[in-house]
Structure 1
């Protein structure tokens, strides 16, 4: 039977991101995720978690980030849940990628990458927790049911 998902808890420390990369590799193997999906997940999660640690928890090392990843037939759904300061990364203005580099505002490019890499993104604030949901769709030829 294939694993259908994983749950990882990270401390608010950037050294913990390696733990997440290992978990994604495990999920990729057990759920037969194609390498391009693994790459997109790793890059998007690295960006979001790094921002949560750097800005949401600032200097706090006692914060936690819960990451739940599950496969649902034709998609992988990832939830990032934390008790950092309230922040919806998807309300940030879309990054300007057309102006000359020296004319662009600082920041926002990482969230632009997340929006570009992930098929569906959402944010809610639930019971003093930030909940970011990322959905990555399988290519149609790879979207098959997973053992229950």
Structure 2
């Protein structure tokens, strides 16, 4: 069982991003996480969130994006849930700097900053869990 757990939801709109980043900072501070862990988590959430909007939904919409955070000991876990098209970020080979289009390095960043990635499709939902 987690020592700490929280979950919150926002709509898939870019205007939600600043509030989402503030909430992650607030929750990780409440969990007692070091600043570096918070910043890595914010960067990964920003990548997942903007990818959901741009690629998963094909633009902004009212669909919910749910974020769950838990901390047990030294492990911080992010649970990211959306209703976009099926997509497993752990199974796609990331682009390299020489082959990526502008902005095409996000998957490598997500994969490189997390210790593990788990994905499952539950009905209409992508459920991605990342450990830090």
Q: Could you say whether these structures have the same fold, taking a TM-score greater than 0.5 normalized by the shorter chain as the test?
A: yes
Q: Select the structure of larger CA radius of gyration.
A: 1
Question: Partner residue of 1:23?
Answer: 23
Tell me the TM-score normalized by structure 1: 0.79
| Alpha-carbon contact 1:8-1:20 (below 8 Å) kept | no
1:3-24: CA deviation from partner (whole Å, max 9, x where unpaired): 8222110101011111211111
After superposition, the CA RMSD in angstroms is 1.7
Give 5+ residue unaligned stretches, structure 1.
Answer: 137-148
Aligned length: 129
Question: Partner residue of 1:4?
Answer: 4
Partners of 1:94 and 1:57 in 2: CA distance: 20
Question: Partner residue of 1:117?
Answer: 113
Question: Partner residue of 1:51?
Answer: 51
Cα displacement (A) at 1:87? 1.3
| Alpha-carbon contact 1:5-1:27 (below 8 Å) kept | no
Question: Which range moved further: 117-126 or 42-51?
Answer: 117-126
Structure 1 runs of 4+ aligned residues shifted over 2 Å read 94-97, 105-108
Report whether the alignment pairs 1:69 with 2:44.
no
